Chains A and B, each alone.
Chain A
Amino acid sequence: DTEVTQTPKHLVMGMTNKKSLKCEQHMGHRAMYWYKQKAKKPPELMFVYSYEKLSINESVPSRFSPECPNSSLLNLHLHALQPEDSALYLCASSQDRTSYDNEQFFGPGTRLTVL
């Protein structure tokens, strides 16, 4: 199984809502990533988990809260988002974080719209 799955595919939320994005992989990878991608831009790294511990936070606002309950699952909890947070949120995984030659496998993304 070389797949990274993400749910939901689409999400529309208001600025006062709380929602969560979910990512799952069963490749035995120990590094998992959240990226944000605005239209016509490359993905921007948000968070990296390595062996279920948060190892990188790219100065992301606290309204985004990541969680890694186990080695296969990665969540992104959303609260009090702004319309400018509307984007495609991509999850990725790789064998581990410390080997820079490891390719990252990406999920299909969640397209988020904040009203």
Chain B
Amino acid sequence: AQKVTQAQTEISVVEKEDVTLDCVYETRDTTYYLFWYKQPPSGELVFLIRRNSFDEQNEISGRYSWNFQKSTSSFNFTITASQVVDSAVYFCALSSLLDSSYKLIFGSGTRLLVRP
């Protein structure tokens, strides 16, 4: 079975703190893609990153960084020096060849609240 687990339901931090959102996935496939989406209060899901299963290089984009570790089936997301505008629900998602419908399998989401 394919599954994405985001164990942190809610995280609250004070502005400028660093915060890491955890994502653990399960799949029998060797070829798959992992995604992170942000959903601010406005409702729209905003694509943040896509990573394929053959590329374990970590990625940094401004204050955002992602750590992909196949050995632990994790794809964690870190926000450095968090800002109030980072407050949102963050979803990790998986897509693979095993599921021929190419569906996005979403985790349950982590609600991040950044307080001023």
* Chain A residues within 8 Å of B, Cβ to Cβ: 40-43, 45, 48, 56, 88, 90, 92, 97-101, 103-109, 111
Contacts and interface: CB of A to CB of B under 8 A. Distances in A.
B44 A108 contact: yes
Interface in B25-84: 32-33, 35, 37, 42-47, 50, 52
A111 B43 contact: yes
A41 B102 contact: no
Contact of A101 (B44, B50, B106, B109): B50
Central interface residue in B33, B44, B109, by most chain A CB within 10 Å:
B44
Given A42-B106, A101-B95, A106 B45 contact: yes
Interface of B: 32-33, 35, 37, 42-47, 50, 52, 91, 95-97, 101-104, 106-109, 111
A42 B23 CA distance: 14
Contacts of A100: 32-33, 95-97, 102
